Structure 1
Amino acid sequence: MRVWAPAASAVDLVDGGPQPEPMVAQGGGWWRSPEPVPAGTDYAFSLDGGPPRPDPRSPWQPHGVHEASRTFDAGAHRWRDGDWRGRSVLGAVVYELHVGTFTPEGTLDAAIGRLDHLVELGVGVVELMPVAAFPGDHGWGYDGVALYAVHDPYGGPAALQRFVDAAHGRGLAVCLDVVYNHLGPDGNYLAEFGPYFTERHHTPWGAAVNLDGGAGTAGDGSDDATEVRAFVVDNALRWLRDFHVDALRLDAVHALIDDSPRHLLAELSDAVAGLEREVGRPLSLIAESDLNDAAMVTPTGEHGYGMTAQWDDDLHHALHALVTGERHGYYVDFGSPETIAKALTEVFVHDGTWSTFRAQEWGAPVPDDIDGRRFVVFSQNHDQVGNRALGDRPSRVLGPGMQALSAAVVILGPGTPMLFMGEEWGATTPFQYFTDHNDELGELVREGRRKEFGTHGWAELYGDEDLDVPDPQAPATFEASRLSWNERERPEHARLLRFYRDLVELRRVEPDIASGDRSATSLGRGEGWLVMSRGTIDVVLALEAGAVPVAGSPEPILSWDPVEVGDGLVSLPGPGVAVLRQSAGRLT
């Protein structure tokens, strides 16, 4: 048992014995217990006679984030995935889910019971929103404070191992969403142990994580930053090694402020590459970045950060604004066919151009030789749904045909497609922002949410002057966000689900669609229609009923509604999509 506490004069292990047990000082601010602590033991650390605190590297917080930690033997699980050879996220269909609302039970074990649904859908990678221990029973997980622990209401660390094992047994890779840019305010004791944060840099959450030698309590800060960086890198490797996770999605990496010669992300990328060679299976890192800069996916040896892939919000914005007509907030520069075309072929709409929402030039061009599959694209995700005032999905305003159109752009385009739980059947349940904080912090969150949405024009958008934003602290807000699996059985939802399956299957069997070659992708457009061309495949996107001009004699291979092809036209009876194979010529 070890703990890093460089400023402490004495550290005691509190493990339920008659007296606290003094720990032995080691070099570099580390302390160790004289004897090993058995698995399943509750314990905490007392710094200089202070109150017991959870372990910064606690593997388990069965009593909540303020109470004692519990030891966990990660090697005790009998893995059954010996034949698993792994799967890269590149080009795979990713499925994002929130454990607490994915099933009625809200646990990892219950989620195992829904994995066959994902297999039938054609999913390749299951992405779990953060499972690191956070305060209360339910929340999104981005305010986690015990980054090495698995949230106990989800089932704890053993349940995560069971989930990954079960997923691998079905041919599904597992991606874990991790948050290294900040910790939540409730239950965050890291600063008591050492200089994990620095006032040299600030983020929207306060003092930044100390990655580059900010002023600390030991030495000049450089050794402190080394230990903090190791805290992050060791955490990532632990999920990949001890829990057999295949990929990590790194939250808001633009808030990892690091002025050191070698950025933390490059260090992490190289460390994961080393583990990949050791375990003999693909390990992927996906960055969420607001910078619109392909340096994220440029190899570390080429002065990049070495990420496998990064999220691409711009395609979402262009598509959402087009099909809904919304132009508020960050949608102001999006919605035209030109923005869709640019997002499909050049990735970022803002690639050094003016961003009205940010009131400055933003982003950088993506080099032509970067594979489109390095950019994760979506029409829904937890942010784009949950950060709306009502947490409403596109299904609130879009008919099934327009939902099918959106799915076709994402799944058949050159990016790596990601689906958000329930979108495949047009789920009508919202995904709202919910928390379970103590009374004081809960009230601050509640009021902050109301003020935030009071200034963003949501009342006008929803046509409700008396718009009542859901209370994040109310149990009803959490309950309303649970998926209703019974919806799948209703005819209109079952039809959309079948179409999603067909789109995913088409992506699997058609090389031109599976390709990430952006140079072989183009977008034609006319009044009320768009055509996304992917090599020999043309995807006709009808925003309204009408006829689209064609060249040659295309063969319909998939369509939302029956289509008629003839006399140089393909006719669609309403909003929807038709996929055509061009045997000669191209759509004009």
Structure 2
Amino acid sequence: MNRRFPVWAPRASRVALVISDRRTGREEIELSRGDGGWWALDAALDATTPIDYGFLVDGEGPYPDPRSLRQPRGVHELSREYDPSVFEWTDHAWTGRDVTGAVVYELHIGTFTPEGTLDSAIERLDYLVDLGVDAVEPLPVNAFNGEHGWGYDGVLWFAVHEAYGGPAAYQRFVDACHSRGLAVVQDVVYNHLGPSGNYLPKYGPYLSELAAGPWGDALNLDGPGSDEVRRLIIDNALFWLHDMHVDGLRLDAVHALHDSRALHILEELAESVDTLSHALGRPLTLIAESDLNDPKLFRSRESHGYGLAGQWDDDVHHAVHVNVTGETTGYYEDFEGVASLVKVFEHGWFHDGSWSSFRERHHGRPLDPGTALRRLVAFTQDHDQIGNRATGDRMSALVGNGSLAAAAAIILLGPFTPMLFMGEEWGATTPWQFFTSHPEKELGEATARGRIAEFARMGWDPDVVPDPQDPTTFERSHLDWAEPERPGNARILAFYKELIALRRSIDPDAKVTDVAGDAPGQVFTFSRGGLRVIAAFGEGERTVTVTGEIVLAFGSATVADSSLRLVGPGVAILR
């Protein structure tokens, strides 16, 4: 078996391979320098089973392989060989699907089930099929330090977190999803690396000396040596899509990618993924998370855009959240009133060049004419908007079921690509809090202090912020699968199923019309695909002139003499 162990270390004068197995024990073998700063083993190794290995760089280490596919003992230890091609896939009939317009379900492997593993998540996939979901979107699963965390502080992008089950379990999960007709969109993080276990700087100029973000060191995308750093990102994306069979990637916080080159990394990535999509004969979707409200992200490359499929739309979330909950602090301030809902339904973004009081400047620019709003992923709850609240409280802790139903109808019947956050569909009462398990005491304490400081501008009480390092913070964030069986939760769950089924009756290209907001009555209405949605916020009785019959409602809603009578928060859908 020829094992060459390539590694990029352009500034090193000596690189040695360290191997460890039961038969030979620990051994050091000098690597040979090749072109472009790459080192490799010239000779074959006599080994029949996967070995553990790492690299000594100028005598320091050993460090894990920057492209490690498995870290069985954590991110500070030796890597282990893994061959993804030996997995016996059964998804040969899977032809993929374009994720834009699909119903997406965001989940965190570690808290989705009591066991917190990929294999236990497989056992819940039939539930998602019954719900009507089209695609699942796991939070990052790549290797990070500690047993549990959100996953956004990963340091080895190719390795699946061992506590979730490792790479073989991930392949089983994707294969099981495809067997049920579910697409998989994997959340990946290319804008920074975590604070512990990041050994990339030991190998070469992976990090930027000029740019650092609030979450950690930024990648060197445009400085000397950046060609290989960009290659690492693109190769990783193709790894998930090709070797792990996923159908799309959610690109975390692309506004934090510092790239001044004429060919932006996102454009280069999109072009590479489109080439792979053509070769595989199935659609592959790239969706960005961006704070920029810039249509350049998904404008075609022929029109000098980056050519992504779409992006998350926080503005829709903010408009729904403010109208449902009445919260107007911090970045919610500009979204007060139903006019914010009207604007996002008509224009996609609220901040499209308008003044942002939270940023204290104008922000965004309009969508290009004719842009389909399904390019924007909309949600009432997600991991950030819940987890970055002081106590991680869900919308269900703030409002009643009528308001939850109104919010769900707006998202699921609207023109956007709808996304649900795990448990939202039954009004889960378990919080989703920020949790970590950094083994380093100092890092854990610094993380806790940082969380408290983050909440100053939102006006939240820092004294109620749970300690991310406290194991009970992690335990509280697990879904309670007994809840869907309880009457109140079961009613919400049934309503979500009906909404998703109703959505399927709408032409995916149907546009919204007759968008209106009655500010005094706190009523928001729109029409799409032959349906009329009337959502009421706040208490009190309202009467709206309508035509048609109610096909689905939640809350007190009756039609008489062409008038819809609404009592309290809720929603009525008419045909």
Q: TM-score, with normalisation over the residues of structure 2?
A: 0.95
Alignment of 1:47-86 (within 5 A): 47-86=57-96
Q: Distance in 2 between matches of 1:141 and 1:572?
A: 43
For residues 182 and 36 of structure 1, do their structure 2 counterparts lie closer, same or farther at Cα, with a shift above 3 Å needed?
Answer: farther
1:218 aligns with none
Q: Is the 8 A contact 1:415 1:516 kept in 2?
A: no
Matched, 1:29 2:37: yes
The alignment status of 1:310 with 2:311, answered yes or no, reads: yes
CA distance in 1 between partners of 2:420 and 2:298 (Å)? 21
Q: 1:586 corresponds to which residue?
A: none
Task: Give the conservation status (yes or no) of the 8 Å contact 2:311–2:377.
Answer: yes
CA distance in 2, matches of 1:30, 1:371: 44
Deviation at 1:361, TM superposition (A): 0.5
For residues 234 and 255 of structure 1, the distance between their equivalents in structure 2, rounded to whole angstroms, comes to 20
CA contact (8 A) 2:380 2:408 kept: yes
How far did 1:135 drift?
Answer: 0.4
Question: Aligned to 1:549, which of 514, 535, 544?
Answer: 544
How far residue 31 of structure 1 moved from its aligned partner, in angstroms, is 0.7
Deviation string 1:401-437 (CA, Å, 9 cap, x unpaired) is 1000000111011000000000000000000000011
SS at structure 2 position matched to 1:549: strand
- Equivalent runs, 1:180-199 vs 2, <5 Å: 180-199=190-209
Unaligned runs of 5+ in 1: 215-220, 460-465, 582-588
Determine the structure 1 residue equivalent to 2:161. 151
1:164 paired residue among 171, 174, 181:
174
Contact 1:97 1:420 in 2 (8 A): yes
What amino acid does structure 2 have at the position aligned with 1:127? E
Pairing 1:258-277 to 2, within 5 Å after superposition: 258-277=259-278
Q: Look up the equivalent residue of 1:33 and give its one-letter code.
A: L
| CA displacement, residues 18-76 of structure 1 (integer Å, 9 cap, x when unaligned) | 53011111100001122456662110000111120000000011100000001101001
User: How far does the alpha carbon of each residue in 1:170-222 deviate from its partner, in whole angstroms, 9 at most, with x for none?
Assistant: 0000010000000011000000101001213332245531111x2xxxxxx1x
Aligned match for 1:4, one of 5, 8, 19: 8
Contact 1:529-1:548 within 8 A present in 2 as well: no
Tell me the equivalent position of 1:442: 444
Matched residues in 1 for 2:486 and 2:540: separation? 25
CA contact (8 A) 2:338 2:523 kept: no
What is the CA–CA distance in structure 1 between the aligned matches of 2:456 and 2:294, rounded to whole Å?
32
- The answer for the alignment partner of 1:322 in structure 2 is 323
| Counterpart in the other structure of 2:118 | 108
Q: Determine if contact 2:109/2:139 at 8 Å carries over to the other structure.
A: yes
Structure 1 94/36 Cα, relative in aligned 2: closer, same or farther at 3 Å?
farther
User: Which residue does 2:466 correspond to in 1?
Assistant: 470
Task: Tell me the equivalent position of 2:475.
Answer: 479
CA contact (8 A) 1:61 1:152 kept: yes
Residues 206 and 484 of structure 1: CA distance in aligned 2, closer, same or farther (over 3 Å): closer
Aligned-pair CA distance for 1:575? 1.5
Query: Which residue matches 1:500?
Result: 496
Aligned to 1:137: 147
Listed one character per residue, the Cα deviations across residues 287-345 of structure 1 (whole Å, up to 9, x for unaligned) are: 00000111111112211111111000001001101111111110010121111111111
1:411 is matched with: 412
1:525 corresponds to which letter in structure 2? Answer: D
Contact 2:378 2:416 in 1 (8 A): yes
Q: Indicate if the aligned counterparts of 1:537 and 1:580 stay in contact, CA closer than 8 A.
A: yes
Q: Does the aligned pair in 1 maintain the 2:330–2:457 contact within 8 Å?
A: no
CA contact (8 A) 1:198 1:210 kept: yes
Alignment partner for residue 90 of structure 1, among 86, 97, 100? Answer: 100
Relative distance call for 1:359 and 1:454 in structure 2 (3 A) is: closer
- Rounded to whole Å, the distance in 2 between the matches of 1:530 and 1:517 is 17
Partner Cα distance (1:516, 1:433) in 2: 38
1:562 deviates by 5.9
User: What aligned pairs does 1:526-541 form with structure 2 within 5 A after superposition?
Assistant: 527-541=521-535
CA-to-aligned-CA distance 1:225-269 (integer Å, 9 cap, x gap): 111100000000000000000010000000111110110000000
> Paired residue for 2:353?
352
Contact 1:521 1:535 in 2 (8 A): no
In the TM superposition, residue 510 of structure 1 has moved relative to its aligned partner by 2.3
Q: What CA distance in whole angstroms lies between the structure 1 residues aligned with 2:354 and 2:458?
A: 24
Q: Which runs of 4+ in 1 moved over 6 A?
A: none
Identity across the alignment (%): 53
**1:443-476 CA deviation, whole Å, 9 max, x = no partner?**
11112222333564213xxxxxx83210000000
SS in 2 for 1:572: strand
Name the aligned partner's letter for residue 18 of structure 2: V
Amino acid at match of 1:165: D
Worse-matched range after superposition: 244-253 or 13-22: 13-22
* Alpha-carbon distance in 1 for matches of 2:176, 2:28: 41
- Paired with 1:549 and 1:59, the residues of 2 have a C-alpha distance of 59
Give me the TM-score of the superposition, normalised by structure 1: 0.93
1:262-411 → structure 2 map (5 Å cutoff): 262-411=263-412
Q: Say if 1:521 and 1:569 are closer, same or farther in 2 by CA, change over 3 A.
A: closer
What letter matches 2:569 in structure 1? P
Aligned partner of residue 19 in structure 1, secondary structure: strand
- Contact 1:321/1:327 (<8 A) preserved: yes
DSSP 3-state at the match of 1:541: strand
Secondary structure of 2:321's counterpart equals helix
Q: Give the distance between the partners of 1:470 and 1:380, measured in 2 at CA.
A: 20
Q: 1:293 to 1:87 in 2, by over 3 A?
A: same
Q: Secondary structure at the match of 1:563?
A: strand
Task: Give the Å deviation of 1:482.
Answer: 0.3
Name the count of aligned residue pairs: 562
Q: Deviations over 1:544-563 (max 9, x none)?
A: 45343324x41211111463
- Rounded to whole Å, the distance in 2 between the matches of 1:486 and 1:541 is 29
C-alpha separation in 2, matches of 1:335 and 1:267:
39
Range that drifts further, 528-537 or 51-60: 528-537
* Structure 2 counterpart of 1:584: none
Q: In the aligned structure 2, how far is the partner of 1:336 from the partner of 1:127?
A: 31
C-alpha distance in 2 between matches for 1:211 and 1:142: 19
1:332 is paired with a residue of what secondary structure? helix
- Is structure 2 residue 559 aligned with structure 1 residue 558? no
Please give the alpha-carbon distance, in whole angstroms, between the structure 2 residues aligned to 1:104 and 1:435: 17
Corresponding position of 1:523: 516
167-176 vs 568-577, which moves further: 568-577
Q: Which residue of 1 aligns with 2:185?
A: 175
Which residue identity is paired with 1:472?
Answer: P
1:166-245 to 2 correspondences below 5 Å: 166-205=176-215, 207-212=217-222, 214=223, 221=224, 224-245=225-246
Question: Secondary structure in 2 aligned to 1:126?
Answer: strand
1:353 and 1:184 map into 2 onto residues whose CA distance is 34
Inter-partner Cα distance in structure 2 for 1:309 and 1:444: 35
> Matches of 1:33 and 1:159 in 2, distance apart?
30
1:576 aligns with 2:537: no
Return the letter of the residue paired with 1:269: A
Q: RMSD of aligned C-alpha atoms?
A: 1.5
Q: Aligned partner of 2:174: which letter?
A: V
Q: Tell me the SS of whatever aligns to 1:164.
A: helix
The one-letter amino acid paired with 2:199 is Y
Looking at structure 1, the residues matched to 297 and 12 of structure 2 have their Cα atoms a distance apart, in angstroms, of 38
> Residue 241 of structure 2 aligns to a residue in which SS?
helix
Matched, 1:490 2:494: no
SS of residue paired to 1:429: coil
